[in-house]
Each structure stands twice: as structure tokens, then as C-alpha cells.
Amino acid sequence: MITCDVVVVGCGGVGSAAVMHLARRGLRVVGLDRFTPPHDRGSSHGRTRMIRQAYFEHADYVPLVLRAYRLWSELEQAAATKLYHETGLLEIGPPDGAVVPGVMAAAARHGLDVSQLSANDVRRNFPGFVVADGMIAAYERRAGYLRVEQCIAAHLDQARAAGAVIRSEESVQHWNATGSGVVVTTDREQYRANKLVITAGPWAATLLEDLNIALHVRRKPQYWFGPAAESYRADRGCPAFLYETRDAQRRDAGVFYGFPIVGPEGLKCAEHSGGGDVADPLNLNRDVDDADLGRVRGFLNNSLPGVTTTLVDHAACMYTMSPDENFIVDRHPRHNQVVFAAGLSGHGFKFTSVLGEALADLATTGSTELPIGFLGLKRFQS
Ligand SMILES: Cc1cc2nc3c(=O)[nH]c(=O)nc-3n(C[C@H](O)[C@H](O)[C@H](O)COP(=O)(O)OP(=O)(O)OC[C@H]3O[C@@H](n4cnc5c(N)ncnc54)[C@H](O)[C@@H]3O)c2cc1C
């Protein structure tokens, strides 16, 4: 039996940040992962993750994302590496859609620097993008991408430097609350700790089974295409993009996103909406799905016609959807010594730096000054 102050289960996006924050507070922390993070088996791989401030999903995320930007910058300085690349972000959609009106509302509420554009403005300023008459757009300058695997590696390096022990290729089978502490059983060891942090991504439902939260895992492919016109390169001013097509108003389909060309792998593009159910995240189908690829190619042909839709690379990933598509970050209602983040619903990576800090607060003091109240379990109680 190994004893420590805190066990963190899962050292992916959120867990790597939590381990670092906890270790920096002088605690004896053990981070456990069934793979060797950063890895491509969970939800945090594929080179890039979008980061943006004017949050159309829910304006309450804005203060959290602003704190996340600051923490990413501090991590870059501590690790002496560049993680955030500011490319700007072009968001396009119908005037009665969810994206552009939501972006403009969040920007107005929080005083963010976002410009609303007409279809003609987009054609003039971003000639690589085709926009139908009647669509509108928003341009956010303080947005871009994070290098996802490097972010996790940097958090884990900093965690180790602060004294944390990261144990890879070790799978947690179950945990038990014992008095005010926990016992965590893996396929190799048992750990006794005062606190437990669960950040298991697509496997959260298994480790938080007793909470009975309906978490659904979706298969989400990512694609890289090329060659493409020079105007789609980040160093030629091409922004990241998020495009809500008219289809998105009728069904869960037709929201596409992507990143400008930043390396030999070409332009990344994928569909944010939809995705097949994943019954067992350990057995995710990683093959190319022709129907899914066809939809992304169709979008590119219509909207970014200067990109050749020859596939250069692909990767399958997973979204873990909560019932309302907002994260769930809280203490376990029956075991105060257990805290967790789950159901990041396909938009959580940009927040992982701040969620790690929030979990460290919850685990050490039982509360946090970070504005995460809207992400609590309570909202499902009614
Ligand atoms: C294709 C795709 C595109 C995305 N794009 C964006 C984007 O542009 N911007 C954005 O902000 N977000 C985006 N997201 C969402 C974001 O990447 C995820 O919300 C975030 O990475 C999830 O982090 P996590 O820590 O919850 O999960 P993970 O990073 O998967 O970490 C969970 C970890 O727990 C470990 N684990 C699980 N169970 C056990 C166990 N029993 N024992 C030991 N270890 C265990 C796993 O091995 C894994 O390392 C995207 C997601 C996908 C799939």
C-alpha cells in the first residue's frame, strides 16, 4: 500500500493540470494513467485545440477562459515553450443561428474585442472562405490554437519538477471512500490518500458510476488535408474557423471547424456536431469512416475551395457529452474527499489549465473562488 496526500486518476488534459497545481501546493501527489500521457487513446490528441474567448455556448465560461489564458501563458514561461498560437478566429453562421449571435452576446457582456462582419466583409478580408449571402460572421483576434500534446507534457513536466509522481500504464480498477480518505486500487498497487481527483475523460462514467450522470461518449474523427493554396497558411494570416451551416438549425449536423496550415500535415478540418456513440472507449474504431469524411470534404469544397481534399492524416478522438453539454466540475455529494471534472462535451481543452486549478482548490480547501458554480452537479437535481 502506497500512501500519499492526493491521487489523481487520469493525467490527460485536466488531470495533468490538476497534478501540477496540487504538487505546487506542497502536497504528495500521485498521478495515475492507464496509458503514457500525452497519448492518442483518449480525448486530448491531434496536434491542435481551439482557444477562444467570446463563448457562444454560455457566456459564464468567459471569466474562466480568461483565467485559462493567463495560466497557459504562465505555463509557457515556466516550461520555456510556446503552447498558444494566436491566429485569430473567424466564426460564420446564420443570423438566427447559435454561433455568431452567441459570440456577439458574450463579447458584449464581457467587453471582448470581437467584430461582427457581413458576408461581403468576409469575402473582402478572408478571400479563402466562401460565404453565402445572408450569413454573418464574427472575427475574434485573441483566439487561436493550443498545441494539445505539448500542453499536457508541459503540465506533467512541471508537476514532476514540483515533486509529483506520475505512474503510467497503470489502470485504476476502483476506489473506495474510507472514513475521511480513499483507497484506490489499480492493476498493480493500492494507494491510500486523503483526497482523490477523478479526471478520467471518456472513462469518467465508470469511475463515477454511483453518481448516475448520463455521460455519452461520441466518436470524433479529425482530418488533415492538402495541398492547399498559400492563403490558407497561418503565416499568411489565415485564421482558425468555426462554421455553422444552415443544416445545423435542422439537426445535430453541419457545424465544422478547422485550423490554418501550420505544418506539413496540411489544413485540419473536422465536424463538431454529430458523432457515433462509443460503447467502449478502449475499443474505439480508428479507421476512416467514408460517410464522415465525405461530409467534411463536402464542407471544404463548398466553403474553402482552395484546399485539395486529399487526406494527409487522420485521427479518431472522443467527446464525452454531459446531458446539457456543459462541463461537470464538483465535489462528490457523498464523499467530500473526492472531486472530479467530467463531461467536457467536446469543448474543454482550452479550460484544462483552469480546471486543474479549480480541482486543486476543491481538493485542498473544499471550495474555490473561480466562478465554476454553473458547472456543479446541482443543476441536474431538479
Ligand atoms: C476531435 C476533438 C476535437 C476537440 N477540439 C477542441 C477544441 O478545439 N477546443 C477545446 O477546447 N476542446 C476541444 N476538444 C475537447 C477537449 O479536447 C476535451 O474536452 C479534453 O481534452 C478532455 O480532457 P480530459 O482530461 O477530460 O480527458 P483526457 O485527456 O482523455 O484524459 C483522461 C485520462 O484519464 C485516463 N484514464 C481514464 N480512466 C483511467 C483509469 N481507470 N485508470 C487510469 N487512467 C485512466 C486516460 O488514459 C486519459 O489519459 C476536442 C476533442 C476532440 C476529441
Q: Where are the domains of the chain?
A: 2-45+149-214+324-380, 89-141+216-320
Phi and psi at residue 188, in whole multiples of 5°?
A: -125, -25
Pocket probe for ligand 1: among 30, 49, 325, the residue whose CB has the most ligand atoms within 8 Å is 49
CA-based nearest residue to 140, from 186, 105, 107, 175: 107
pLDDT lower than 50: segments of the chain: none
- Conformational region of residue 43, where left means phi above 0, alpha means psi within -120 to 50, and beta covers everything else: alpha
Distance 187 CA to ligand 1 centre (A): 22
Ligand 1 atom with minimal separation from the 171 CA: 42
C-alpha–C-alpha distance, residues 114 and 92, integer Å: 13
Catalytic residue among 110, 155, 347, 350: 350
Confidence (pLDDT) at 382? 64
- Superfamily in which the 2-45+149-214+324-380 domain is placed by CATH: FAD/NAD(P)-binding domain (3.50.50.60)
User: What is each CA distance from 333 to 69, 76, 197, 212, 324, in whole angstroms?
Assistant: 30, 35, 14, 12, 19
Confidence (pLDDT) at 110? 97
Q: Quick count: other Cβ atoms within 10 Å of Cβ 273?
A: 18
User: What is each CA distance from 25 to 19, 162, 293, 330, 364, in whole angstroms?
Assistant: 10, 9, 46, 20, 9
The predicted model scores a pTM of 0.98
Confidence (pLDDT) at 44? 98
Judge contact between 48 and 145, C-beta under 8 A.
yes
CA-based nearest residue to 97, from 138, 144, 125: 138
Distance 45 CA to ligand 1 centre (A): 8
Judge contact between 199 and 330, C-beta under 8 A.
no
Task: Please check whether the two domains, 2-45+149-214+324-380 and 89-141+216-320, share a CATH topology.
Answer: no
Q: 66-75, long-range: CB within 8 Å, 24+ apart, which pairs? A: 67/354, 67/357, 67/370, 68/350, 68/351, 68/352, 68/353, 68/354, 69/142, 71/17, 71/353, 71/354, 71/357, 72/146, 72/151, 72/353, 75/151, 75/154, 75/155, 75/158, 75/353
Pocket probe for ligand 1: among 191, 219, 349, 359, the residue whose CB has the most ligand atoms within 8 Å is 349
Catalytic residue among 49, 52, 195, 220: 49
| Amino acid at position 23, single letter | A
Q: Name the closest-CA residue to atom 23, ligand 1.
A: 13
What is the DSSP secondary structure assignment for residue 145, as one 8-state letter?
E
Q: Name the closest-CA residue to atom 50, ligand 1.
A: 346
For 289, counting Cβ atoms within 10 Å of its Cβ (0-12 exposed, 13-18 middle, 19+ buried), the class is middle
Query: Domain 89-141+216-320 classified CATH 3.40.50.2000?
Result: no
Confidence (pLDDT) at 369? 98
Cell numbers standing for residue 365: 480547501
220 is catalytic: no
195 is catalytic: no
350 is catalytic: yes
Cell numbers standing for residue 81: 515553450
Judge contact between 245 and 300, C-beta under 8 A.
no
174 is catalytic: no
| Amino acid at position 356, single letter | G
C-alpha–C-alpha distance, residues 197 and 174, integer Å: 13
Ligand 1 atom with minimal separation from the 13 CA: 25
Distance 12 CA to ligand 1 centre (A): 6
Element (H, E) at 55: none
268 is catalytic: yes
Judge contact between 44 and 177, C-beta under 8 A.
no
Lining residues, ligand 1, CB within 6 Å: 9-15, 32-35, 37, 41-44, 46, 49-50, 171-172, 199-203, 220, 222, 270, 317-319, 344, 346-350
Distance 320 CA to ligand 1 centre (A): 8
Catalytic residue among 21, 24, 34, 268: 268
Cell numbers standing for residue 27: 502536497
Catalytic residue among 52, 218, 219, 272: 272
C-alpha–C-alpha distance, residues 244 and 256, integer Å: 7
Confidence (pLDDT) at 51? 98
